Structure 1
Amino acid sequence: MATEEKDMNEFESMESSGAIYLTPTGYDALRAELDALTLEKRPEIAERIRDSQQHGEFSEDNNELDEVKLEQAIVENRIAELKGVMGNCLILQTEMIPTDHVGLGSQVKVNDLDYDDEFDIKLVSSIEADPINDLVSSDSPLGTALMGHGAGEEVLFEAPDGKKRYRILTIAR
């Protein structure tokens, strides 16, 4: 029991620490994006610049060169951002996810009490949030409302289209 309490205290501390926590799936997605940018996109852009310079297609006032260099800057900035996140993140392990209340990494079934509509979401960090795929940021209005609450509880939050009332039906890892 002492170990469970210690683990829970560490998790609650983790939730409020401000550190970047990623699910294993989220980390893998960032790794795949980084690989695509460094192994495919970066060399492609460099080749386009090199080819154009060799063929004399770029003049000093050529907009095409400016566009390629802008694309290169955007790619390099994203690579730096991904390396920064991945170098400073902690991967959320399944055993760290609480089941007695909603926390980062929780799989939550909720009921929209206004429309009697049930749906499942997973609470994730803002970096891996993807609402279309039911990955809700813990920093979003819904995520913030759910955090710390248990199954059977109702939460109220302000959405862009007005106040919403949800009931938490189940919480899983």
Structure 2
Amino acid sequence: MPSEPAPISDAARHALEQELADLRTERRTVAATLQDSDSAVGDRADEADELQRADDLQRLDARISEITTRLRGADTAGPPPTDRVGVGSTVTVRFADGAEETFQVGETAEELDPSLVTADSPLGRALLGHRPGDTVNYSAPGGRSTAVVVSLGRSTGAEA
């Protein structure tokens, strides 16, 4: 995650809040299965299961912390920018071949969505911080490529 607080779209916020609720529910379920180690008498398989559940709790706690920190940072950063490309922006670009496409710049891609460019993809990284009229350079599968930021709009909430 970036060191500076980054804005987040409403759709991404909702997805993270839902994931957080699901993780907390899963954590309660896993925690309830842990035995009191002083009263537990069992074989090595029981001990292995107990260790696995403890590992699961650590994994869940780490992700809960990560999401909570991300949501707090998004609150600090405010809404996506409207004067330059940022996470949550809708941007129309013109590629070197003249084709124009409109994308959402999202934080993560939950599923294959051709209208979504993640902020950590080569094109997404190149677009961040740019304004309409700016030319950006990025690495494409066929080599270096350029695109021009044609227009910029607010997030429509279509990305996760």
TM-score by length of structure 1 reads: 0.64
Q: Deviations over 1:109-143 (max 9, x none)?
A: 224335x654332224xxx3328431421x54323
Q: Distance in 1 between matches of 2:4 and 2:39?
A: 49
1:158 aligned to which of 112, 123, 139: 139
> Secondary structure of 1:62's match?
helix
The match for 2:109 among 130, 142, 145 is: 130
SS in 2 for 1:109: strand
| Alignment partner, residue 143 of structure 1 | 124
Q: Secondary structure at the match of 2:59?
A: helix
Cα distance, 1:25–1:63 mapped onto 2, change above 3 Å: same
Distance 1:43 1:54, change over 3 A: farther
* SS class of match (2:136): strand
Aligned residue-pair number: 146
Give the partner amino acid of 2:51: D
1:1-173 equivalent positions in 2, closer than 5 A: 18-38=4-24, 40-50=25-35, 59=44, 62-90=47-75, 92-93=78-79, 96-98=81-83, 101-114=84-97, 118-124=100-106, 128-130=107-109, 132-133=112-113, 134-137=116-119, 140-146=121-127, 147-151=129-133, 153-159=134-140, 162-173=143-154
Measured in 1, the distance between the counterparts of 2:117 and 2:15 equals 13
Q: Percent identity?
A: 23
Change (3 A) 1:92 1:122: farther
Tell me how far apart the structure 1 counterparts of residues 73 and 135 of structure 2 sit (CA, whole Å).
35
Give the TM-score, by structure 2 length. 0.69
Aligned amino acid, residue 13 of structure 2: Y
1:73 offset after TM fit, Å? Answer: 0.7
CA contact (8 A) 2:5 2:74 kept: yes
Contact 1:145–1:156 (CA under 8 A) maintained in structure 2: yes
> Judging changes above 3 Å, is the alpha-carbon distance between structure 1 residues 154 and 64 closer, same or farther for their aligned structure 2 residues?
same
